[in-house]
Amino acid sequence: MTILHKIIMPALVTAAVSVSAMAQDTVLPVTITVDKSNGTLARADGDTGNTWCSVWTSTATSPGATFSAPVNNMQWSGENIDARTGSAQSSVYTVASASTGWYVSSYSFKFVNIGTGTKTLTAGSKVMTSSSTEQTWSVTDIAENVVPSFTMTGSNDGVLLTDFSIVLSPRTQEIQPAFVTTTVVDGEFAPETNWYTLQIGAGGLYLKYEDGASSMSLNSPQTTLEDKDLWCFVGDDTEGYQIYNKAAGTGMRLAAPSEMKGTTGGSSYAVLKPADVAGYVYVWHFTETNVLGVGTPAFFVNLDGNENAKLNNRDGKLAFWTGGADAGSAIQVIWSKQTFTINADNGTMGNVPGKPSTWYMSWTRDAAPSVVMSSVANNMQFDTDGTLKIASGIEYGPWAFTAPQGMHVSSYEFDVKRAQDAGSATLSIDTPDGKTVEVTDEFQHVAVTGIGVDDANGFTVDADPADANKCVNVKNFNVTVSRSIEISKNIMVFRYDGTTGYNVCYRIPAITTVENGPNKGRLIAINDYRYGGGDIGAGRIDLYQSHSDDNGLTWSEPGHLCDAEGNHVAEGNYTTDKDCAFGDAAIVSDRETGKVLMIAVGGHVNFFSSRRDAPNFCFRWYSEDGGDTWSDHQDITEQILSIFDGEAAYGKIDGQFFGSGRMTQSRQIKVGDYYRLYAVLSSQNDGGNTRNWALYSDDFGQTWHILGGVPAVSSNGDEPKAEELPDGSVLLAARNRWGNRNFNVFRYTDVAKGEGSWLGTVATDMGMGSINACDGEIMILPVRNIETQEKCYMALQSFPYGGSRRNVSIAWKALSQPEDFSSPSSFTTWDGRKQVSNLGSAYSTMCWQHDNTLGFLFEEETFGKAYCGMFRNLTIEEITGDAYEYCADEDDSVRQGLTSAMIRYRLETEAPKGEPGKYVGQPTGEGNPEAEEAAAAYDAEPTLDNYILFNKAITTGSAIEIKHGGIYRLQSAHNGTYTFGDRYLTTDGSKLTSSASHDTSASTFIFMNKSEDSKNWIIYHPDHKVFVAQSPAAVETAFSMTPDPAMAHEYRAVSTMEGYTNLTDVQPGHNNYGSIHQGGNNNGHIVVWTSDAQASQWYMELVGMADESELPDMNVSIDEIGVSDKVSPVKYYDIIGREAAVPVRGGLYITSERTKVIF
């Protein structure tokens, strides 16, 4: 036997020949430069007309190197590589040796932003963030058994990689064992042959033998370890390997044409062939790669004599790609099954501890995998003829098998008869499948197959009491040990496998439970039916639905949404503009009537290309009968867009869509005939997708209003969701454009008017380490701790796990005390995670079913294609590992208890009595008597109205606020983000800067309201007599100052209890960026950036109040114009406050009546 390098083989340690080491003293390391002069870029599909590629391969081959990504995320920029994060905004890049006997010992490159967005590079604990300044990424001292890689996340606008070098060193160690080869003798596979499964690509599609097929279909990511799924290898690393299939037997081997056909080998199919078919090659070579990610070892497998002919998934068939190698060519070889014999020569006997004897209670296999057969007493021994003698014994049976972790005994067989000294004893063999074999003096065959992971796997030697201690003889004892495979519980609702009838992909799931009416309890699932695969604007898209009336066990055939006459009401018609496509649905059912509302985006305009006068469209549907029939689509585009026209912050929006999946209905707020609905809008201005707006409706979607009047996320917003917290506040959870998730919390001060405040956006990985920037769902529901019986609430959040779009999971977090949901930062840590898919998987949504379980709908590459729509039903016990269970809060006592606790917590933290805070946003230290009275009122009558009164009371006077005319020192709150120390905001008269000094008036600014009712601020520097102007139109650009009051911009201040204040231009020059931000170097650079960045936070300390003489003229003059009881003639003032005796025609003036006029 021989073995190849790294392989997935649970707990299996092999002792076999390894690839010999290379002599280090005769070969020196080799440096390879990664650029256009020293290698080529290639695509997986061989399309030479497309510049985007997935792998760079060095021209040098002895040794050679590769630099690759799973998808086509690279192109040339001059001589160097422009690397992107792709549509997933996350990409793994792998640096690998392309030559046997060599490994990557170090690599380095310089990187700099091509676009404006930041990218984060991560490799283990090493993390760097890109910028417009060139930086160096260097990884050294890489171990021989590691294939290095790094993950790049963030905006998909590229980094330029220059001075890129890879150092290859000769191996000095033996390569770790991988698959164990076998032999074929006399037409039979050798005893104890190891069998493996082969999975290709990121989707993990299994290679399966198909008798008589001319090609091998790649369409299943599942296996039950049938013989057709099992493969073995004959050969070695030098001469190559022949690949056999267990079902096909020794007469067939994997072969392929020696001449590549089609585009880059796409029509040359690898299939099992009998020996010596002319024109076919039967020998293969393996090259290790971790292009599927660190921790997922795989191989590129090429045809003997043609190193470029690597096996690849070509349109769902096993063929070749000769243009390079990427994830589509990566094959995982995973140990799966072996049959061995129990005898005296290949195992070790063991006694019951403390009871030495020539009889034994266990047999342990010497080779891997180390299976144990044991009982509870010393009841077996090997006879001199080699047969195993087993006594029934007074403490007889059962005998059971124990396999290493990740494996189980799946079958066994043996021949049995009465031992010679047993006489005529009545003995039997009882097996776990319920069968009994009466033992006689002749050998009989016992076989048990199909043993599951959790099944009983042994047998019992039974005897009449009078025949206790009589023995049986056993021979030909063969045991099969298998890899333990969890059979997927996911149910396919929307199928996409590329075959006829299933060759259109599904995207963007939505789901709801019909809450009342004749179809109460029905699940309605919606998906985009995307003919071209792209988003709105890329062609025809229909909305398809399926429903289940048995809590997700079975589903109707997916089809169109129809009205009562059978007309399709959400079918795209690409001959028109408005109706050409419908997609990204959001859905909800009213809890009282059961009425269903669905909102979706539509039209022919892509979201980013939408403009106010030529927008993408917004449509609405209703169903009164649980989705059996629907209203026609209703265009509500203008209604939605007009909400923002001149009213909300930023004035207007150019493009919009409702966050897909699930809209939320309040459990507590009812204004009018319906409980309040929440949905979250994603918007862009001039092509920049930056903001999320929470909307609410009190008439079940007929009209909508902006919650709080301002964005919930003002920058880096993306696909958003909302949920109601136990205290009636609103939690926003949204995809962050550059990775991870955004959270924010809204607290009401007036429910009827939708007034209140957002506490501030927090971007976080939720303490999970690596979550993908992808649409997911948020849900909050009542539960009970199984161990303590404590009742509380629980938050669930879904997302793909691991940095790429796969491993869709549900995170859970118990909300058992105020600190668990008091602020957005409460959601930076979660208690656990339940993984639902181990395949490529992306968007997900959920609903609560009437059987009190979770309905979970998600996208999955079930057949290696993106995507099918899959459903999974889960209990809270399954999600939390039996830590919690669902427990309805029918009398609201749990919610009220948490709200009461939240009130006490907020009094202690937001309005404490004692030492006052120093910075804006921190407590005044004076307490808040009005809030204390409101707290007492809630305790007396725990209603939502009383809690809102508390919210309103505690937001007034509890925290230090900005004062009109206040003189403030602003210290950067970068809080250790940068290596330099404290920096203070100042100006040189022409632009904002920062300084290490704060002892003079140069580091102070006056803050002023433009009008009495304004909540925004003019920022004025009295020494230089200049104002902060509009934020820059280009990122990482300095803020300009202006002496002209008319050019001064208003800035919105958002402060936290920690004393952080963010200052963001109300009308920013750049749609994505508007906040005053401390730059990352130590030269006083103040630039425009996003509001959620830590270095966009400032400590604002009041150091004095300005005299009237220190205020700029425009405010002094306006303030001095009083209101008299007498009728006075109207006076006119110019924009800097000077009275104009004779106004000039066409000039802009402010009147003594505080109005603006053009004379």
Cis amide leading into 63 (omega within 30): yes
Which residue shows structure tokens 């299996």? 12
Q: DSSP 3-state assignment of 1120?
A: helix
Higher-pLDDT residue of 267 and 1013 is 267
Contact 846, 798 (CB under 8 A): yes
DSSP state of 488: P
Residue 791 has pLDDT above 90, yes or no: yes
pLDDT at 327: 82
Residue 725, token pair as written in the block: 């917290």
Beta strands in 875-943 (DSSP E): 884-886
- Identity of the residue numbered 59: T
What is the spatial distance between Cα 955 and Cα 950, in angstroms, rounded to a whole number? Answer: 9
Q: What is the CATH number of domain 342-483?
A: 2.60.120
pLDDT at 1133: 55
Q: Does domain 24-170 correspond to CATH entry 2.60.120?
A: yes
What is the spatial distance between Cα 547 and Cα 934, in angstroms, rounded to a whole number? Answer: 47
pLDDT at 943: 96
Residue 568 has pLDDT above 80, yes or no: yes
Question: Does pTM top 0.85 for this prediction?
Answer: no
Residue 333 has pLDDT above 50, yes or no: yes
DSSP state of 562: B
Higher-pLDDT residue of 1056 and 726 is 726
Residue 157 has pLDDT above 60, yes or no: yes
Contact 612, 544 (CB under 8 A): no
Residue 253, token pair as written in the block: 């081997």
pLDDT at 1154: 47
Q: Which of 47-56, 245-254, 646-655 is least confident?
A: 646-655
Cis amide leading into 696 (omega within 30): no
CATH 2.60.120 in the chain: give the residue spans.
Answer: 24-170, 342-483
> So what's the architecture of 184-339 in CATH?
Trefoil (2.80)
Residue 1118 has pLDDT above 50, yes or no: no
Residue 22 has pLDDT above 70, yes or no: no
Of the candidates 1085, 1102, 1063, 1099, which has an alpha carbon nearest to the alpha carbon of residue 994?
Answer: 1085
What is the spatial distance between Cα 1040 and Cα 990, in angstroms, rounded to a whole number? Answer: 6
pLDDT at 472: 95
pLDDT at 12: 40
Residue 1125: band (very low, low, confident or very high) from pLDDT cuts 50, 70, 90: very low
Q: Which of 42-56, 666-680, 786-800 is least confident?
A: 42-56
What percent of the chain shows pLDDT beyond 70? 90
- How much of the chain is helix, strand and coil, in % rounded to 5? 10, 40, 50
What is the spatial distance between Cα 58 and Cα 339, in angstroms, rounded to a whole number? Answer: 44
Residue 175 has pLDDT above 80, yes or no: no
Backbone angles phi, psi at 44, to 5 degrees: -70, -35
What is the spatial distance between Cα 623 and Cα 265, in angstroms, rounded to a whole number? Answer: 51
Residue 716 has pLDDT above 90, yes or no: no
Query: For all residues of the chain together, what is the average pLDDT?
Result: 88
Contact 1104, 963 (CB under 8 A): no
Higher-pLDDT residue of 976 and 620 is 620
pLDDT at 325: 81
Residues in the chain: 1159
Residue 668 has pLDDT above 80, yes or no: yes
What is the spatial distance between Cα 708 and Cα 643, in angstroms, rounded to a whole number? Answer: 13
Contact 814, 884 (CB under 8 A): yes
Task: Give per-residue pLDDT as tens, 597-611.
Answer: 999 999 999 999 999
Residue 477 has pLDDT above 50, yes or no: yes
Class of domain 966-1112: mainly beta
Higher-pLDDT residue of 1123 and 649 is 649
pLDDT at 1091: 83
pLDDT at 186: 94
pLDDT at 29: 93
pLDDT at 1139: 60
Residue 394 has pLDDT above 60, yes or no: no
Residue 1146 has pLDDT above 60, yes or no: no
Beta strands in 351-450 (DSSP E): 362-365, 372-374, 380-382, 388-391, 400-402, 407-418, 427-430, 436-438, 444-448
Residue 683 has pLDDT above 80, yes or no: yes
Q: State the angle between helix axes of 944-954 and 893-910 in degrees (0 to 180), rounded to the nearest 10.
A: 10
What is the spatial distance between Cα 817 and Cα 905, in angstroms, rounded to a whole number? Answer: 9
Instruction: List helix spans (H) across 911-943.
Output: 929-940
What is the spatial distance between Cα 401 and Cα 1008, in angstroms, rounded to a whole number? Answer: 79
Rounded CA Rg of the chain = 35
Of the candidates 853, 858, 894, 848, which has an alpha carbon nearest to the alpha carbon of residue 873?
Answer: 853
Residue 165 has pLDDT above 60, yes or no: yes
CATH 2.80.10.50 in the chain: give the residue spans.
Answer: 184-339, 966-1112
Residue 975: band (very low, low, confident or very high) from pLDDT cuts 50, 70, 90: low
What is the spatial distance between Cα 141 and Cα 137, in angstroms, rounded to a whole number? Answer: 14
Residue 301: band (very low, low, confident or very high) from pLDDT cuts 50, 70, 90: very high
Of the candidates 374, 258, 244, which has an alpha carbon nearest to the alpha carbon of residue 305?
Answer: 258
Query: Judging by DSSP bridges, how do beta strands 135-139 and 65-68 pair with one another?
Result: unpaired
List CB contacts of 239: < 8 A, sequence separation 6 or more: 283
Residue 273 has pLDDT above 60, yes or no: yes
The 10 Å CB-count burial string (b at 16+, else e) for 290-327 is bbbbbebbbbbbbbbebebbbbbbbebbbbbbbbbbbb
List CB contacts of 1127: < 8 A, sequence separation 6 or more: none
Residue 997: band (very low, low, confident or very high) from pLDDT cuts 50, 70, 90: confident
Higher-pLDDT residue of 243 and 289 is 243
Cβ neighbour number for residue 411 with a 10 Å cutoff: 17
Backbone angles phi, psi at 1047, to 5 degrees: -95, 0
Higher-pLDDT residue of 323 and 24 is 323
Q: What is the mean pLDDT of residues 203-230?
A: 92
Q: DSSP 3-state assignment of 1011?
A: coil
- Identity of the residue numbered 365: R
Contact 720, 733 (CB under 8 A): yes
